[in-house]
A = this chain, B = another copy of it.
């Protein structure tokens, strides 16, 4: 195998590229420096590392509320200073079509959070049967309004409206949800900086970073590949140099792959699909599911995650609760994105 012995010959030119500065959320922009492996005769060695806090007891609960509160305080503080120094403040435009109860609830939560930190909001509410052009005109008018720094179009839209067309019209520079394909493309391409990163994935990374979970070099498995959670979370984790696997409905034996992961992120939309026996001992579990499940009494609903918490808490080293995990941090990230946009507009960055 003479040819194989020449493996040391090459240094990949990408490895020589200067590491660029990058913000914390987008991960350290490290070059790939491959270490050629020779005479490897034991390819099946199991992971020998376990996370520091794997102590055989119940998992650490990764509570989102304290982190969310801290971020909100910081955002509110910055906005106060912004007002006092330049007399200006961030403004978020919210576009809501139709009368979906869940959409109204989400919007209410967002508006309340904005109000608490000093972000002014303007809501455009359109009827369920509004024409596409009417909606496009509303979005365009917010694009043109220099006093609006962020625009969110609450999803899902009624069936007759082309979601792709609407999202494409939102200015990438005001796309605080981070759903525009230009922002998604710049999130996917290493070394680039999107204007905005979607809020839930950003919340997920914030939770991991704030709790000191090391991401670089860890095996992360994401169950579910939605464009608002699973996809951008996978892209963000890759920027933090995790080894990422994406599972979905066509994955055979998902439990085999999750059971090898150091970090498991669930975004499926099926309550408790992730069982305790899907997990490696000491893994970190981020549950991004928010499923409404009927109460046993048959009256009312409660919110539950995609992970069977009662089982997972006995196996994992750390786990987010639902509710009270990623959710509150996600809302804080919307505030943070809107503030960032206003700062950019005011030339404060």
Contact = CB atoms under 8 A, between A and B. Distances in A.
Contacts of A12: 268-270
A270 B10 contact: yes
Contacts of A45: 253, 256
Contacts of A227: 189-190
A33 interface: yes
A13 B156 contact: yes
A61 to B, nearest CB: 17
A45 to B, nearest CB: 6
A245 B248 contact: no
Contact of A32 (B32, B185, B225, B244): B225
A14 interface: yes
Contacts of A15: 249
A73 B340 CA distance: 52
Interface in A225-249: 225-227, 231, 235, 238, 241, 243-249
B277 A43 contact: yes
A103 B35 CA distance: 27
A187 B273 CA distance: 28
A259 B43 contact: yes
A176 to B, nearest CB: 16
Interface in A185-207: 185-186, 188-192
Nearest to A249: B32
A310 B247 CA distance: 32
B225 A271 contact: no
Nearest to A223: B34
B1 A47 contact: no
A270 B185 contact: no
A229 B273 CA distance: 34
A157 interface: no
A9 to B, nearest CB: 6
A308 interface: yes
Q: Which of A13, A185, A296 has the most CB of B within 10 A?
A: A185
B257 A34 contact: no
A250 B245 contact: no
A66 interface: no
Nearest to A235: B188
Nearest to A237: B246
Q: Which of A6, A13, A311 has the most CB of B within 10 A?
A: A6
A86 interface: no
A276 to B, nearest CB: 9
Interface in A17-48: 30, 32-37, 40-41, 43-47
Given A44-B256, A243-B246, A246-B243, A184 B190 contact: no
Interface of A: 1-4, 6-7, 9-10, 12-15, 30, 32-37, 40-41, 43-47, 49, 156, 164, 180-186, 188-192, 216-217, 219, 224-227, 231, 235, 238, 241, 243-253, 255-257, 259, 268-273, 275, 277-278, 291, 293-294, 296, 304, 308, 310-311
21 contacts: A4-B310, A9-B291, A9-B294, A10-B291, A12-B269, A12-B270, A32-B249, A34-B249, A34-B268, A34-B270, A35-B249, A40-B255, A40-B275, A43-B253, A43-B259, A164-B192, A182-B182, A184-B189, A188-B235, A190-B227, A238-B246
